[in-house]
Chains A and B, each alone.
Chain A
Amino acid sequence: MADLTHEDIRRGLDRMSDFIGEWQGIPIPLGPEHPVILHDRHPLREFYRSETEYEIVVGGPADEPVADLEEAIGRAATRDERIVNSWFCWKLNVDVLIYQRADGRAFAVKVPRSPDRSMDRMDLWFRTLGASDAWDLDAEYRAREKLRGHLSERQWRHYDLTGSFLETSERSRLTYMFRRLRPTIALTPRWKEGQKVDSMRMMAVLCMHPIGYYGRSWGGCLVPSDDVIAHLLFMRSDEAGFWKVANQHEARAPEAGL
Chain B
Amino acid sequence: MSIAKQRRRKDRRRSGIAEFDIASTGCLEVLSVGKGDLKLTVGGDDPEDTERAKALITEMLQKGYAIFVETDKGLTRVKRFNPKRMTYVISEIVEDAIPPAKTRRVADKHVPVAGSKATAIGRTSGG
Contacts and interface: CB of A to CB of B under 8 A. Distances in A.
A25 B124 contact: no
B99 interface: no
A23 B124 contact: no
A183 B34 contact: no
Interface residues of B, number: 30
A24 B64 contact: no
B64 A41 contact: yes
Contacts of B74: 236-237
A55 to B, nearest CB: 18
Contacts of B100: none
A230 B31 contact: yes
Interface string A13-33: 110010000011111100000
A234 B25 CA distance: 25
B125 A142 contact: no
Nearest to B122: A24
B102 interface: no
A207 B127 contact: yes
A213 interface: yes
A224 to B, nearest CB: 10
B36 A210 contact: no
Q: How large is the interface on A (under 10, 10 to 19, 20 to 34, 35 or more residues)?
A: 35 or more
B88 to A, nearest CB: 12
Given A41-B123, A233-B119, A23 B40 contact: yes
Contacts of B122: 24, 39, 210-211
B107 interface: no
A210 B37 CA distance: 13
Interface string A215-252: 00000111101100110011011100100011110000
A138 interface: yes
B76 interface: yes
B29 A146 contact: yes
A26 B33 contact: yes
Interface in B67-109: 68, 74-77
Interface of B: 29-38, 40, 60, 63-66, 68, 74-77, 119-127
Which A-B residue pairs are the 4 nearest by beta carbons? A247-B126, A25-B33, A139-B36, A14-B34
Interface of A: 10-11, 13-14, 17, 23-28, 37, 39-42, 136, 138-143, 145-146, 183, 207-213, 220-223, 225-226, 229-230, 233-234, 236-238, 241, 245-248
Given A23-B32, A233-B66, A247-B125, 14 more contacts: A24-B120, A28-B33, A39-B123, A39-B125, A41-B64, A41-B123, A139-B36, A142-B37, A143-B36, A145-B37, A210-B31, A223-B36, A234-B77, A246-B126
